[in-house]
Chains A and B, each alone.
Chain A
Amino acid sequence: MDLKSRVKQLRQQTGTSAAPRKSADLGARLLRLQTRGRRCAPAVSPVSEGRLAERLGGQVLDQGVLMVERRVALSEMHGDMPISILHHQPLYLPGMGGRVTSTAPHGQYRQTTDEVAVPVGDLLFMDTETTGLSGGSGTLVFVLGLGRIEGDYLILRQYLLTTFGGERSLLDLAGNWLRGGETLVSFNGKSFDVPLLQTRGCLSGVPDPFGKMPHLDLLHPLRRVFKDRWPNCRLANAERKLMGFHRLDDLPGAEAPAAWFDWLRHKDSRRLIGVLDHNRSDLISLAVLLPLLVKVYQSPLRYEADVLAVARSWIREGQTDTALSLLEYGRSKLSRNGLMELARLWRNQGCWESACGVWWSLARAGDETATEHLAKFHEHVTGDFDAALRLSLKLTRSSASRRRCQRLSDKLNRLSKQVG
């Protein structure tokens, strides 16, 4: 018996493919073949690498590597947004990374934001297409898309692998295009694209330039402020909600691996065009998303972002004033936790009246923590022990609250003795 039938037989016996299930699989496979047939029919004749380069409007750089370059004018629109909004303001986000904090001593850059923001020309937008989403050493990067601003243009370079043998050269060539000193801008690149490129570099013995760059992964600031507002924080969703950009005829990301495998096995290039288009849209979206996020962090209300999450990001950055003004401005939309945070900031600045206003409104609705804050306020700031005790008595019994009540009545007793 040949190997194939031996394996097939053994498989059935172990339950990996029970007979009835197999026919279901076959049905599913047929269905898949049919949909593919509709899209791809009639069968194509194989395409050479040179012909592929022509079709994609690129050039063969080396054996196994094609490069497609596009110059996109910044005046072009991406959805409702001109790409040029990149230039409209200093690009500065809280938590932007080592670059910002390392060049300016802590707390200083509040007034000098312009100086510490990353120059637009140093941004390197990056997005890859891969043969799988699972990661691991068997996942290959077959499109490495890079973009940067040169003058009034966004220059996009896509390196497409056409054979496994070209991988080393692809990584080398892409590395050569870098100038050094860039800040990487990606979407989920920290946990996906960069580790994958590092893996590929390690396997082909090419040093990896991306792992060492300062890296701004836009997924994280986006998710921080929209995770409770949007059903998901995928790039496509951000495009629709923030840029008014709707993808038409976009190749679903899940089909990218199959597109490349089609090329590899049958020299069928048709879906590769779609992959490159998709990758280009991603890169442009990155360039537009960055300035939009800057705006979101400046005026969260306008974008229906989570004001408290934005404020907290600024606080972590040491910019309490920004946080406070955002919370004050958005007070009507704040949740209970948001109000507590606002009150906390006011208290820390000594604005007791404003802080108490917030606590009172919460305490009236039965909020224990707010009541406790008021009690503390009266005990330690106004010295109105009577009021403090009244408030403390409203709190749920606990050893701490009992101690507080005891302490307050002692103080009151002492006072009345002094008076008496």
Chain B
Amino acid sequence: MSLNAISTRNTEADPVIELSRRLKSKYAGRITGELVISEHPGRYASLPIDLDMRISKALLSRGIRQLYSHQAEAWEFARSGQHFVVVTPTASGKTLCYNLPVIQSVLNDQAKALYLFPTKALAQDQVAELLELNKAGGLGVKTFTFDGDTPGDARKAVRTRGDIVVTNPDMLHQGILPHHTKWAQFFESLQYVIIDEMHIYRGVFGSHVANVLRRLRRICRFYHADPVFIFCSATIANPGELAARLLEEPVQTINESGAPRGRKQLLLWNPPVVNPDLGIRASARSQSHRIARLAIRMGLKSILFARSRLMVEVLTKYLKDVFDKDPRKPPRIAAYRGGYLPTARRETEGRLREGSIDCVVSTSALELGVDIGSLDVCVLNGYPGTVAGTWQRLGRAGRRNRPALGVLVASSQPLDQYIVRNPDFFLGASPEHARIDPDQLLILLEHVRCAAFELPFHRGEQFGREVLEELLVYLEEEGVLHQEGDQWHWTADSYPANSVSLRSVAEGNFVVIDTTGGAQLVIAEVDYTAAPGTLYEGAIYMIQSRPYQVERLDWEGRKAFVTRTRVDYYTDAIDYTRLKILESFERSTEGEAETAQGEVHIVRRFAGYKKIRYYTHENVGFGKINLPDQEMHTTAVWWQIGVAMLERVFDNRQQALDGFLGAAYALHHVAALLMMSVTRDLGRAVGDGDGTWFGTVGADGRGQVRGKDGAELDPAAQGRFRPAVFLYDNYPGGVGLSAPLFDHRGDLVTQAAGMVSDCDCTRGCPACVGPILASDETRGYSPRQSALKVLELLKNGS
């Protein structure tokens, strides 16, 4: 029987290749590009002469007779005690870059090493790999995982006997550093710290992790240890800079991979234009759904990545409607996203590994190396926002020497459209910058608190770039520190690390409670910042595409009470943002254009929500949202044009306003691309900058001017009319996105102008200046041209 199976496979094309062939022949017009990552021969180096014989033997027994060039380079840096970062593609043997020097020092110097991975699942995979090498050579290196799942009675053994301890930043922060005395032996001999998947440590999370590393190094100094740090990262534009920012010391960069590369196919897919006048395309959702359906029918295991939790639920529902109609059969389709309880996620992972699920629909939650076995096809519903993220998601398919197919389905958003039209974007040098701000005041303060618990602070000590003593005095006033002589001691009956989550600026999460049938069951958790847009009363909140309606929101208690419901629609919140400039830090004027960067005050109002029917996606109703305004101080970069010039260039204020709104749309998307952030990390606004009016796109697709109370105003009736485009850092206090945006202001405006001028549409579309409506043809001017005028003026000014 098995012979038969083999011969069938030989005569017929592999189903993955067959799928790709069918897609290409049937939908040739939709495929805008095809990337075949061609084979690439390897560059090799011999095993280092000073490599311990036992390790060479272990390598030989696993078939490794030589190293890739980057592995040899890593060896040299590590042995000479220099910090370095390795930037190479997935499956290029990056783990040997750190495993070799680590094992060598364990064998020869009884040294210890600490491995940090962003998630528990990755840590476990890593241990498995180390164990294999260890077993192959009988090396006797003891590797243990230390995380929330490590049983209490095993922890002592890990601390005292582990040569290599594998953990994650959260555990280091809450479980290891506050108990460092128990780890004294470990810290005393700590020679290497490995930080894998470094590119994940950006934005808020990265800013926290940088502070955890400050604490780690502080503890190391206490035990007179000075470990070498080795970072590994997916391809980003500034790996060396990010590593140096995380460590606050110079870091060497290795970015030439010597590993040979296999073949991989990626189709770029642009949904067909359904309304050429408006430049409206069929939704990415309908296309992804179609491709996934085809793959499932051909018996292929697939993964479908969606960009939002909501889209995961919608797509899951559509696929379940097709494949899981019979409730008696085990489901073939599963959803996977953050917000589900961990047990539910573990269960789905297990079923994926067994192969009992045909298609999983997921957010980026599955992007990292959670082991889910091998899949054949990866469909990306929309560009994930970063090239690094795209490759990582595509890496989900074809892990085990099987041909793999990825399909990137573009949405109508400008970034997506830009990407599918410029396939080179994937092949050239990465344009993506990862940014962190370890001195974000709230984040820094939390870690000063944690650090004070770990060891008293001494006068003159450094921790971050704020004046440390001022922070210490503040904490003393708060009653958690006490100064005695030149030292500040922790004096509170609490364990500060427990109240600091590395994954957000601050805790304040909402829990979603199912009250169906009188029970009270916590079914999900939602971040504070996401809550007003998803948990308003009347909202449909979905889990595994099962709709729940929010009955009551207890804002102070951080609870949303929901019940199971049956509706044929989902809900989407409408919000307005008003913004006021408080202070500008930097300013650059050229001609009539001015660019500035500084601190702003933002008021965000969730006015109401739309009910959107499944499948037809028509609006079937509106509801009001009664929530307090969300206020925030943050940093922003903004662009303005002189009043006189505006009046010269535009016939009227309505045109200028439409131009600014369109320019904001394009700038926002280009900025997200450069900053390697999702558009949600940045906010955009158009307004006068002192909070008296703000611009918004109305239901008719036209720009509107609204006043403080949200009421619509006549743009012509305003006194001075000097609109500004704002891009702001969407976290209280900012996490360092706006300063680099100011530095890249020239590129930003140039690329945004290019995006708008190169677009295929006539008057504007979701791919350049945002959606416009059919009625706009009566506008008499092209919103796209207006936006282009604004951008050209800014370009000459920047």
Contact = CB atoms under 8 A, between A and B. Distances in A.
Contacts, number: 113
A21 interface: yes
Nearest to B499: A16
Interface stretch (B484-492, B669-677, B777-785): B484-492
Interface in B64-99: none
Interface in B612-658: 628, 630-633
A198 interface: yes
Interface string B127-163: 0000000000000000000000000000000000000
B447 to A, nearest CB: 13
Contact of A135 (B179, B441, B470, B492): B179
B759 to A, nearest CB: 37
A130 to B, nearest CB: 9
Given A13-B633, A264-B482, A138 B528 contact: no
Question: Which secondary structure characterizes the binding site on chain A?
Answer: helix
A24 B554 CA distance: 15
A138 B182 contact: no
A257 B493 contact: yes
A7 B441 contact: yes
Nearest to B487: A164
B370 interface: no
A198 B505 contact: no
Interface string A41-53: 0000000000000
Given A15-B528, A138-B178, A202-B181, A10 B441 contact: yes
Given A11-B442, A136-B179, A138-B454, A265 B508 contact: no
B152 to A, nearest CB: 9
A140 B487 CA distance: 15
B495 interface: yes
B418 interface: no
B15 interface: no
A3 B471 contact: yes
**Among B442, B492, B493, B508: residue with most chain A CB under 10 A:** B493
A24 B558 CA distance: 14
Interface in B171-189: 178-182, 184
A7 B182 contact: no
Nearest to A64: B484
A203 B442 CA distance: 28
Nearest to B483: A164
B746 to A, nearest CB: 31
B555 interface: yes
A119 interface: no
Given A3-B470, A136-B495, A138-B454, A20 B556 contact: yes
B491 A131 contact: yes
Contacts of A135: 179, 495
A168 B732 CA distance: 43
Contacts of B445: 7
A137 interface: yes
Contacts of B508: 14-16, 18
B177 to A, nearest CB: 9
Contact of B491 (A4, A6, A264): A264
Nearest to B628: A19
Contact of A3 (B474, B494, B495): B474
A240 B222 CA distance: 46
B452 interface: yes
A3 B494 CA distance: 23
B477 to A, nearest CB: 8
A94 interface: no
Contacts of A413: none
A13 B631 contact: yes
Interface in B545-597: 555-556, 558
Interface string B258-298: 00000000000000000000000000000000000000000
A6 B485 CA distance: 28
**Among A4, A137, A138, A165: residue with most chain B CB under 10 A:** A138
Interface range, B side: 35 or more
B556 A18 contact: yes
B442 A138 contact: no
A264 to B, nearest CB: 6
B506 A163 contact: no
A276 to B, nearest CB: 19
B449 to A, nearest CB: 10
Contacts of A35: none
Contacts of A19: 628
B331 interface: no
A172 B631 CA distance: 54
Given A16-B507, A165-B484, A10 B493 contact: no
A195 B180 CA distance: 12
A134 interface: yes
A202 B184 contact: yes
B178 A7 contact: no
B452 A138 contact: yes
B493 A258 contact: yes
A261 interface: yes
B484 A164 contact: yes
B117 interface: no
**Among A3, A7, A14, A140: residue with most chain B CB under 10 A:** A14
A9 interface: yes
A244 B793 CA distance: 89
Contacts of B496: 138
Nearest to B488: A164
B484 A163 contact: yes
Interface string B449-465: 00011111000000000
A285 interface: no
A135 B497 CA distance: 12
B493 A132 contact: yes
Interface of A: 3-4, 6-7, 9-16, 18-21, 24, 131-138, 140, 163-165, 195, 198-199, 202-203, 257-258, 261, 264-265
17 contacts: A7-B445, A13-B632, A14-B732, A16-B506, A18-B555, A20-B556, A24-B556, A132-B492, A136-B178, A137-B178, A137-B455, A138-B495, A198-B182, A199-B181, A199-B182, A258-B493, A261-B482
Interface of B: 178-182, 184, 441-442, 445, 452-456, 466, 470-471, 474, 477, 479, 482, 484-485, 487, 489-496, 498, 504-508, 528-529, 555-556, 558, 628, 630-633, 732-733
Closest 7 CB pairs of A and B: A15-B508, A138-B453, A15-B528, A14-B506, A134-B495, A13-B732, A138-B490
Given A14-B732, A138-B454, A164-B456, 7 more contacts: A10-B442, A10-B633, A21-B556, A138-B490, A140-B489, A164-B489, A195-B182
